[in-house]
Amino acid sequence: MSIIFIELAIIAIADAILTILIQRKLTDPKRTYEIQTRLKSISNELVALSKANAPKEDIAKKNGELTALFSEQFKNQMKSMVAIFPLSIFIYYYVIPTLTPKGAVASIKIFFFSLTQYQAFFIGIIFVLSFIISTTLLARDKKRFGSASQNSRSNK
């Protein structure tokens, strides 16, 4: 394996870890879990209301709650994206081209993108590593916050 791939792997791993850290710092994982749980609950209530032919006012009220929660969740996600996006653009358009050979030919086609082997390698590492880290953190948060919310319900 050439030194370029090793450098790209190190940068991709650092980028993936930094991205996750920024997301965790800018968003409250506990609040995110609460919003997701509440969204699921309200969606189930809406289905039950529509099956029971409930008054339109009740359905509209639940839809309003749902919309407010979706809006809050979207704002939380966008906060971290505003910080992460410039970093990713800098790495992709400045760092990678300075490390890779000048004559690198785009030889890999993914949908309508043509990538060099270096770009594809970099994106692949970030995608896989970010998926693994995010899934692990999601499972940990669900276990941690799910058990905390069940304990608070059982104490009531």
Which tokens sit at 61? 């009220």
Asked whether residue 41 is domain-assigned, the answer is: yes
CA distance 45 to 48: 5
Q: What is the H or E stretch that residue 113 is in? A: strand 113-115
Range of the domain at 43: 3-149
Asked whether residue 17 is domain-assigned, the answer is: yes
SS3 139: helix
Task: Give per-residue pLDDT as tens, 28-76.
Answer: 888 888 888 899 999 999 888 888 888 888 888 988 999 999 999 898 8
Q: 35-38 long-range contacts, Cβ below 8 Å, gap at least 24?
A: 35/69, 35/72, 35/73, 35/76, 36/73, 37/149, 38/69
Asked whether residue 154 is domain-assigned, the answer is: no
Alpha helices in the chain (DSSP H): 3-26, 29-51, 56-90, 96-99, 117-155
Number of domains comprising the chain: 1
Task: Give per-residue pLDDT as tens, 71-130.
Answer: 998 988 888 888 888 888 888 888 888 887 776 666 677 776 777 788 888 888 999 998
Asked whether residue 155 is domain-assigned, the answer is: no
Asked whether residue 79 is domain-assigned, the answer is: yes
Asked whether residue 37 is domain-assigned, the answer is: yes
Asked whether residue 108 is domain-assigned, the answer is: yes
Asked whether residue 70 is domain-assigned, the answer is: yes
